[in-house]
Amino acid sequence: MKGRAVELTATGDVVAACDDDTMIVWAARGMGAGVRAWALGEAVAVASPDLNRRDRLTVRGPAPQVARLVGLVRPELDPSYRLLGDRALLGELTERVPGVRPLASFEWMDATRPPPPAKAPAAGGWLEGAEREVSALLAEASPSSWATPGVAGVRRWAGLRAEDGTLVATAADAWSCPQVGFVAGVATAPSHRGRGHGERLCRFVFEALVAGHGRVALMVETGNHQAISLYERLGLRLRPVAAAALDGA
């Protein structure tokens, strides 16, 4: 395929080029500092520094066009960048683009509406001055969490407390952009699991982010079936995605 990549400099141009694809719009981050985006035919690529703790080139479109676009923009990128996109697309890119090397598969989930009504109402609220409590809970319940207090891009924490005031569930508003609220750091204390605390807190956070951004999204490990089932009950749709190294960027 021949042609030149067109650099996109406005959020509206990215939204139009990607047909309002939530993951691409999230990667564009309102075209904030350091973000760059390009289009070639139906292919779109967005380079976002320090997005969810990685420099990411998020891609969308037909594999031949995306492969061509990646080849064109690759010289513009630092070696730290890695690809993010639909799993099937990245699988094709490993065959089409030299240096593309699979790293991990996981699930993207999103929704444009608040969770459906349920017997268990939303519960919890935004925390203030609770960073130590959140850190302690994550260390016990989710030590591999990518969102932790103090990490760049983590805006605020929500929490649910037991009757004695102990923090038993938490979730972060992290790496959100004007058009997409993003959730990370979801955790429930092991001694309080199975009581619906995580679902009630996630319901609160999802409702708040949909109200504030128009949609909500998150990433979850493919093997975390319990979390995936919870998020599906709350109205999120699953989208298989993957990450790949871009050796020689």
| All structural domains of the chain with their residue ranges | 6-107+241-246, 125-214
∠ CA 187-155-151 to the nearest 5 degrees? Answer: 75
**What pLDDT is recorded for position 2?**
59
- Cα(87)–Cα(241) distance, rounded to whole angstroms? 4
Q: CA nearest 26: which of 18, 243, 151?
A: 18
Q: CA nearest 48: which of 34, 30, 69?
A: 34
- Cα(98)–Cα(71) distance, rounded to whole angstroms? 9
pLDDT tens-digit profile, the chain (249 residues): 457 899 999 999 999 999 999 999 999 999 999 999 999 999 999 999 999 999 999 999 999 999 999 999 999 999 999 999 999 999 999 999 999 999 999 999 999 999 999 887 899 999 999 999 999 999 999 999 999 999 999 999 999 999 999 999 999 999 999 999 999 999 999 999 999 999 999 999 999 999 999 999 999 999 999 999 999 999 999 999 999 999 875
Query: Regarding the domain delimited by 125-214, which CATH topology (the fold level of the hierarchy) does it fall under?
Result: Aminopeptidase (3.40.630)
What is the radius of gyration, based on Cα positions, of the chain? 19
SS3 of 12, please?
helix
Chain-centre distance for alpha carbon 240: 12
Q: CA nearest 233: which of 204, 193, 203, 210?
A: 203
**What pLDDT is recorded for position 119?**
80
135 near 112, Cβ under 8 Å? no
Beta strands in the chain (DSSP E): 6-8, 36-40, 43-51, 54-60, 82-86, 100-111, 125-126, 154-161, 167-174, 181-188, 216-221, 237-246
Place of tokens 């995580």: 198
**What pLDDT is recorded for position 243?**
98
170 near 137, Cβ under 8 Å? yes
**What pLDDT is recorded for position 1?**
45
**What pLDDT is recorded for position 222?**
97
Model confidence over 155-169: pLDDT tens digits?
999 999 999 999 999
